[in-house]
């Protein structure tokens, strides 16, 4: 698994061996969405790989103005992999965006920001490698419908696994095997109806270069997860983009629909993106100290302390949708209390059990997959580096079941919590962003928070919901 090519010469050789007809150049916007432009293989000269490809940066949300729209895609050929879904042989190459006006990596390109974050870590002498291991959960539905109009708003998702389908008439009969609400963790077939679908996803993820370790049904009905090996910050973020692409496409081609939306079902568990992290220097894991709590070093605790201190601002990137905060509620294994614990999944940070030097790490459990992975990982790292610099101490450890604490008990223990809404997160970012400044420009921070307010917060706050009709219509 891993890279298929290491340089431009190998790229052309690989394309020839696989009779490639098209080259698909992809880049990521600030939402985390992939965009692409496809060239005929015969038109892709080596000079294009070196100098880049022109495109219109003004047509991408929150990027360039029309009078300065020309931008360059800089292909990273080491990311190349064959697209398993196209009819004609197509190779995908992930790109960075280059600013021709400043002659540097574009300040609003998430992948470029992630590269600058790694460079900053090395420049200040903290480490020379950072490893990230995201765990992306998803739902597979049979059908989804939604509407948003001036006088009507609704959504409806459907799955034969759903408890609501117990009395549905199906051709061939209703077989009745369903996990039920919060009953989906590790059942076998026929209750787990997605075994073959996940297997197909796992095989194709390996085809595109990810090292796949496991797959299983998650706690919620119609929910799954596939575990892949960690990588460097950039590799891990690239892999999230591949992972989401493969999961969505396999579902689509099987007549299903996949979503990484944090909370599509009321009353059942949501989708998270737990993020494992560690920093290394000269081949040594800086987060490890044998004999300490969870084998965590002082450096690891300071790193975590920085994440907790800046959690509101960080969550603007790790939990960047209004729907994110519908997941971060007590009772659904969604950790919103900012403390850490060994083995305890109710804390915002879990320290995995029994890890030696090679595997000791922290696992932040609050992020979700609506995050742009490059921005989320960069924000986490920059907060952590700031914590190392200032020797911040996180609250904890706490080994009790934090899900059982009442709001009053949380306040009595003086434990900070994640923000409860995207508005709170963005206001936190506005008030607290100096820790990002070594990498994130003020222009990018301003653009990002304005974009999120306009795209998510204000439209969401201005719309009545079905539940509001239940609670207030007859008042």
CATH number for 34: 3.10.20.70
**Residues 99, 176 within the same domain:** no
Within-domain flag for 124: no
DSSP state of 453: I
Is 120 marked active-site?
no
Residues 198-224: tens digit of each pLDDT: 999 999 999 999 999 999 999 999 999
CB-side exposure of 322: number of CA atoms within 13 Å? 13
Residues 362-403: tens digit of each pLDDT: 999 999 999 999 999 999 999 999 999 999 999 878 877 776
SS3 81: strand
pLDDT at 393: 94
CB-side exposure of 348: number of CA atoms within 13 Å? 25
Per-residue confidence at 276, pLDDT binned at 50, 70, 90?
very high
Identify the domain boundary among 41, 71, 105: 105
Catalytic residue among 78, 96, 99, 137: 137
pLDDT at 415: 79
Residue numbers of the domain that contains 73: 8-105
**Residues 38, 168 within the same domain:** no
CATH number for 244: 3.30.590.10
**Residues 65, 155 within the same domain:** no
Is 218 marked active-site?
yes
CA distances from 412 to 308, 356, 405, 406, 408 (A): 18, 35, 10, 10, 6
**Residues 163, 226 within the same domain:** yes
**Residues 48, 183 within the same domain:** no
pLDDT at 397: 85
Catalytic residue among 9, 16, 45, 56: 56
Catalytic residue among 26, 274, 276, 361: 274
**Residues 337, 439 within the same domain:** yes
**Residues 59, 139 within the same domain:** no
Catalytic residue among 78, 96, 99, 135: 135
Cα–Cα distance measured from residue 458 to residue 27, given in angstroms and rounded to the nearest whole number: 28
Checking if the pLDDT of 332 tops 60, the result is no
pTM: 0.96
Is 357 marked active-site?
no
Count of structural domains, the chain: 2
Catalytic residue among 78, 218, 392, 427: 218
Residue 371 corresponds to which tokens in the numbers above?
Answer: 């995050």
Catalytic residue among 200, 345, 399, 455: 345
Within-domain flag for 162: yes
**Residues 246, 313 within the same domain:** yes
For residues 128 and 280, is the Cβ–Cβ distance under 8 A?
yes
**Residues 376, 296 within the same domain:** yes
Cα–Cα distance measured from residue 155 to residue 458, given in angstroms and rounded to the nearest whole number: 19
- For 382-408, give the DSSP string: HHHHHHHHHT---S----S-GGG--HH
**Residues 463, 395 within the same domain:** yes
Poorest-pLDDT segment among 58-62, 74-78, 188-192, 348-352: 348-352
Residues 336-363: tens digit of each pLDDT: 889 898 866 778 899 987 678 899 999 9
pLDDT at 51: 92
- Name the percent of the chain lying above pLDDT 90: 87
φ and ψ at 384, to 5 degrees?
-65, -40
Is 206 marked active-site?
no
Is 345 marked active-site?
yes
Is 135 marked active-site?
yes
Average pLDDT, the chain: 94
Checking if the pLDDT of 15 tops 90, the result is yes
**Residues 135, 91 within the same domain:** no
Residues 392-431: tens digit of each pLDDT: 999 878 877 776 666 677 777 777 889 999 999 999 999 9
Identify the domain boundary among 64, 90, 105: 105
Q: Write b or e for each residue in 128-145: b if 16 or more Cβ atoms lie within 10 A of its Cβ, otherwise e.
A: ebbbbbbbbbbbbbbebe
Within-domain flag for 122: no
Poorest-pLDDT segment among 91-95, 143-147, 167-171, 313-317: 167-171
pLDDT at 333: 59
**Residues 435, 295 within the same domain:** yes
DSSP state of 456: I
Within-domain flag for 181: yes
pLDDT at 357: 87
Within-domain flag for 231: yes
Catalytic residue among 26, 310, 350, 365: 365
Is 333 marked active-site?
no
Catalytic residue among 363, 368, 386, 427: 363
Within-domain flag for 113: no
Residues 444-459: tens digit of each pLDDT: 999 999 999 999 999 9
Within-domain flag for 346: yes
Strand-strand pairing, 212-217 and 223-228: antiparallel
Q: Write b or e for each residue in 40-74: b if 16 or more Cβ atoms lie within 10 A of its Cβ, otherwise e.
A: ebeebeeebbeebbebebeebebbbeeeeeebbbb
Whose structure tokens read 């596939």?
A: 226
| Helix orientation angle between 110-123 and 373-390, rounded to the nearest 10 degrees | 20
Within-domain flag for 76: yes
């Amino acid at each position: 698994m891993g890279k298929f090519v290491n340089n431009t010469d190998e790229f052309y050789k690989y394309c020839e061996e696989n009779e490639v007809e098209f080259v698909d150049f992809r880049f990521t916007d600030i939402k985390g969405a992939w965009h692409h432009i496809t060239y005929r293989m015969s038109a892709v000269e080596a000079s294009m790989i070196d100098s880049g490809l022109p495109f219109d940066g003004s047509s991408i949300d929150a990027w360039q103005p029309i009078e300065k729209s020309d931008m360059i895609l800089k292909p990273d050929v080491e990311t190349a992999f064959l697209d398993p879904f196209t009819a004609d042989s197509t190779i995908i190459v992930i790109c960075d965006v280059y600013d021709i006006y400043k002659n540097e990596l574009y300040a609003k390109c998430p992948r470029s920001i992630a590269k600058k974050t790694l460079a900053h870590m090395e420049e200040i002498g903290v480490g020379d490698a950072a490893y990230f291991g995201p765990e992306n959960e998803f739902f597979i539905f049979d059908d989804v419908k939604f509407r948003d109009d001036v006088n009507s708003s609704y959504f409806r998702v459907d799955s034969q696994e759903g408890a609501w389908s117990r009395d549905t008439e199906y051709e061939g009969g209703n077989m009745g095997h369903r996990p039920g609400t919060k009953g989906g963790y590790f059942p076998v077939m026929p209750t787990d109806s997605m075994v073959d679908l996940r297997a197909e996803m796992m095989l194709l993820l390996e085809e595109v270069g990810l090292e796949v370790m496991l797959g299983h049904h998650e706690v919620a009905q119609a929910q799954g997860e596939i575990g892949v090996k960690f990588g460097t910050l950039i590799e891990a973020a690239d892999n999230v983009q591949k992972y989401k692409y493969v999961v969505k496409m396999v579902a689509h081609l099987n007549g299903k629909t996949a979503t990484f939306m944090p909370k599509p079902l009321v009353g059942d568990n949501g989708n998270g993106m737990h993020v494992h992290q560690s920093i290394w220097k000269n081949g040594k894991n800086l987060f490890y100290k044998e004999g300490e709590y969870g084998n965590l070093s002082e450096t690891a605790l300071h790193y975590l302390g920085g994440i907790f201190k800046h959690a509101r601002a960080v969550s603007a990137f790790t939990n960047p949708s209004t729907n994110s905060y519908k997941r971060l509620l007590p009772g659904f294994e969604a950790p919103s209390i900012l403390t850490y614990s060994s083995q305890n999944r109710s804390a915002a940070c879990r320290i995995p059990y029994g890890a030696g030097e090679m595997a000791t790490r922290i696992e932040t459990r609050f992020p979700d997959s609506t995050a742009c992975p490059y921005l989320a990982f960069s924000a986490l790292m920059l907060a952590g580096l700031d914590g190392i610099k200032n020797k911040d101490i996180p609250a904890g450890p706490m080994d009790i079941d934090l899900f059982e604490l009442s709001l009053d008990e949380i306040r009595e223990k003086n434990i900070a919590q994640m923000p409860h809404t995207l508005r709170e997160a963005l206001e936190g970012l506005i008030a607290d962003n100096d820790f990002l400044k070594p990498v994130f420009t003020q222009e990018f921070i301003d653009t990002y928070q304005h974009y999120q307010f306009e795209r998510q917060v204000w439209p969401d706050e201005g719309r009545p919901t079905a539940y509001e009709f239940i609670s207030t219509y007859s008042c």
